[in-house]
Chain A
Amino acid sequence: MSDTVIQNHEPNYLEYKGRYKGIFAWIFSTDHKRIGLLYLYSMLVLFSIAAILGLLMKIELIAPGRTIMDAQTYNSFFTLHGITMIFLIVVPGLPAVFGNFFLPLMIGAKDVAFPKLNLLSWWIYILGAAIALSAQFFGDGPPDTGWTFYAPYSFRTGTNMLPAVTGAFILGFSSIATGINFIVTMHRMRAPGMDWMKMPLFPWALYGTSWIQVLATPIVGVTLLMIVLERTMQIGFFDPALGGDPILYQHLFWIYSHPAVYIMILPAMGVISEIIPTFARKTIFGYKAIVISTLAIAFVGYFVWGHHMFTSGMSGTALYTFSILTFLVAIPSAIKIFNWVATLHKASIDIQTPFLWALCFLFVFMIGGLSGMVLGALSANVHLHDTAFVVAHFHFIVFGGTGYAFFGALHYWYPKMFGRMYDKGWANIGLAIFFTGFNTLYLPMFYLGMIGMPRRYYDYVEEFHGPNIVSSFGAMLMISGLVIIITNLVRSARKGEIAEADPWKSKTLEWTVASPPPLENFAEIPVVTKRPYDYE
């Protein structure tokens, strides 16, 4: 946007020495960039743990019968894996890491609106994570309900549910705080000249996301609270014996958790909307359509929760209403895909690692989305409900969407964050292995689901053996890819070659400051005159 001005007399945010030393200079820092990295490191640790649990599950499933663990262990593994992946990684992930780091930079602000609140939400995040994970280590065994905590099992099971539910409840506060912070930041702190229609698309995605965080999270908060009360005081909200209704739990849970899917996916779409124009060297096609579809997704997402409950017993009218609405919510997502593809049309593309991540995203996200259509159709749903097909679908959407966007974002913004480049060769090899592994792991699960293999089972009949071997092998391949990717990134943070301010020749504001950015981001707040993505 404005001409690249780099004056580097200021200490950058990594070197800056404030009031505290060592680790305290980080965990007490109110600098949005450091907070972004705090989240990044916490999440990488948690992700590794959860991914290993996933791998262990797949090893268990490599053959029928008991392979490496018993049924109860398997139950607790998929519960912990699910809780960690959903509540601790993909829901907060992109906003907490890249939103924190880049939102102020992209809108030309020195920080977010409430820096202290921002730090507090990281602390709450850690507290919630610690409490949730503590469930594993004491009491009557790790929770075994799955990450959805379905009633009535969640208050009947003898396992140590309370910490898990309480932890998830606490995490909600962190999510809400971040959401409020971002909304106010975008309303109040955009650089002069940056009207809403000149704001880049990643901030736009964060804007939609933040509203969902703020408006949906309290519902799950109160629902989890009810589970807590139910377990401790026998209140009977969801207990049929006391007049309660377990289906009501499902309604409340999914009123949040379906919109939560969009908390996960909107920022991912935002990342892709940044990466594609940069490497296509073209203005994004249909900027306005992308903005509008972002808001439409945020809005329509509230009305489709019932598609998780097609087999739970609802009125016929409710069934087909939810089914139709589910199909409608696919439209805005499809609009975005068309826009990205149109941007690529006749572009002179610069093929770099982040761009490859974006392409892989498009591929897996389409599969995830189309399989979602299958599940949204009533009759197909009845057949596929709670089978491996569902597990494949949500890994394609959630892992394939948010996960790919996360790694894409990491490779895209890495030079800005650390001031160094990663090894491109290894990055691409890692991606290739990972992508192959991913598809080998999850594609067979579509087939398994269709021929009837249920989800959340640690054992299966002989007929399912073949595809399961393939799938488990895929898991190992995928994890190897991940190891290569992460090792390369960690290594390069110290050893990589020094990156310039704008290695990709991108046009958004974050690239106009030095890499890594100075403490206060901008020596002088920039004045914005052009639209983002002004390439031609």
Chain B
Amino acid sequence: MNKPAHIDEHRDDEGAKTGMWIFIFTELILFGGLFIVYSVYRYLNPAAFHLAAEELDTFIGTVNTVILLVSSMTIAMSISAIQYKNKKLTLILMSVTILLAAVFMVNKYFEWSGKISHGIYPGSPTLMEASQGEILFFGLYYAMTGLHAIHIIIGVAFIAYVMVLVAKDEIQHDNFVILENSGLYWHLVDLIWIFLFPLFYLIT
């Protein structure tokens, strides 16, 4: 009973990354289910989807796309920064990522509340009078962008946690696989948006 040393010491960066990649696949499949539902209903209600998509503000959507792309870049840069042993820069780049995520959410907030104030939200009287295709479109819109927003929040929490580790020097230039994984996760969030954006805002 004198060997407290236990399994936790096992370290395998390659394994950790593999695990993260598999997890990312599952997330893609999760959204994949919704994409299937979207395509089925779009196919069944082309006209209504066209009409409903016009209601969305392409400008906000584009801004948010750019924001996410830039944030993906900053998190990727933070990984290089840690490899160059530049802790300060790493932390700055990570904060920028979080900041951009916050801006994204603020935009999203205005977008959603705009829609809601027009009476367009699931179960609303206005929507219930619209055609079935429009009901479905907005149902999917709220469900998918909402689920995406939840992923943003999780991603921010993840990155914030990793920042703490960086600050405490638990992540360093030779041991940054968690940072890399948080970056991977963030790219996933970005990637999903890249699919959502054209589906809801661009194809009309």
Contacts and interface: CB of A to CB of B under 8 A. Distances in A.
A114 B10 CA distance: 9
Contact of B122 (A11, A115, A116, A233): A233
Contact of B15 (A15, A188, A519): A188
Contact of B41 (A15, A111, A243): A243
Contacts of B10: 110-111, 113, 115
Contacts of B18: 183-184, 187-188
Contacts of A248: 37, 40
A237 B1 contact: no
Contact of A226 (B37, B132, B133, B135): B37
Interface in B1-27: 1, 3-4, 6-8, 10, 12, 14-16, 18-19, 22-23, 25-27
A113 B7 contact: no
A252 interface: yes
Contacts of B131: 243
B71 to A, nearest CB: 24
A11 B15 contact: no
Contacts of A245: 40
B29 A252 contact: no
Contacts of B135: 236, 242-243
A357 B204 CA distance: 61
A222 B34 contact: yes
Interface string A159-177: 0000000000000000010
B156 interface: no
B83 interface: no
Contacts of B45: 243
Interface residues of A, number: 49
A279 B132 CA distance: 63
Interface string A210-237: 0000110111011101100100011111
A288 interface: no
A16 B1 contact: yes
Contact of B7 (A111, A217, A226, A244): A111
Contacts of B98: none
B22 A226 contact: no
B63 interface: no
A58 B194 CA distance: 54
Interface in B144-199: 147
Nearest to B14: A188
B29 A116 contact: no
A27 B29 CA distance: 32
B76 to A, nearest CB: 24
B16 to A, nearest CB: 8
B26 A176 contact: yes
A64 B202 CA distance: 61
B145 to A, nearest CB: 13
A216 B15 CA distance: 22
Interface in B98-144: 122-123, 131-133, 135-136, 139-140, 142-143
A229 B143 contact: yes
A221 B30 contact: yes
Interface string B34-60: 101100110001000000000000000
B37 to A, nearest CB: 6
A31 B40 contact: no
B142 A235 contact: yes
Contact of A183 (B6, B7, B22, B31): B22
Nearest to B35: A222
A381 interface: no
A113 B13 CA distance: 11
Contacts of A244: 41, 136
A494 interface: no
Given A214-B25, A243-B45, A237 B6 contact: no
Contacts of B4: 18-19
Contacts of B132: 236, 242-243
A225 B45 CA distance: 23
Nearest to B26: A218
A222 B18 CA distance: 23
Contacts of A235: 122-123, 139-140, 142-143
30 contacts: A16-B1, A18-B6, A30-B6, A30-B7, A110-B10, A113-B15, A113-B19, A115-B8, A176-B26, A180-B22, A184-B15, A187-B15, A187-B18, A189-B12, A214-B26, A215-B29, A217-B26, A221-B33, A225-B147, A226-B143, A229-B139, A229-B143, A233-B122, A235-B122, A235-B140, A236-B122, A242-B132, A242-B139, A243-B133, A245-B40
6 interchain residue pairs of minimum CB distance? A243-B132, A235-B139, A222-B33, A234-B123, A218-B30, A111-B7
Interface of B: 1, 3-4, 6-8, 10, 12, 14-16, 18-19, 22-23, 25-27, 29-34, 36-37, 40-41, 45, 122-123, 131-133, 135-136, 139-140, 142-143, 147
Given A243-B132, A243-B135, 6 more contacts: A16-B1, A17-B1, A183-B18, A189-B15, A215-B26, A519-B6
